[in-house]
Amino acid sequence: MFAPRPDIRPATVEVFVEGRPVLVPEGASAAAAVLLAGLPAIRETPVGGAPRLPYCMMGICFDCLAEIDGVANRQACMVTVEPGMRIAAQRGARQARPGTAPEVAA
Distances (CA, A) of 104 to 93, 101: 21, 9
pLDDT value of position 1: 63
Task: Estimate to the nearest angstrom the gap between the alpha carbon of 60 and the chain centroid.
Answer: 13
> In this predicted model, what pLDDT tens digit does every residue of 1-27 receive, in sequence order?
667 777 777 799 999 999 999 999 999
pLDDT value of position 95: 60
**Greater model confidence, 83 or 9:** 83
Q: What structural domains does the chain harbor?
A: 12-89 (3.10.20.740)
Q: Model confidence at 104, in pLDDT bands (50, 70, 90)? A: very low
Helix, strand and coil in the chain, % to nearest 5: 10, 30, 60
**Greater model confidence, 27 or 103:** 27
Question: Does 84 have pLDDT greater than 60?
Answer: yes
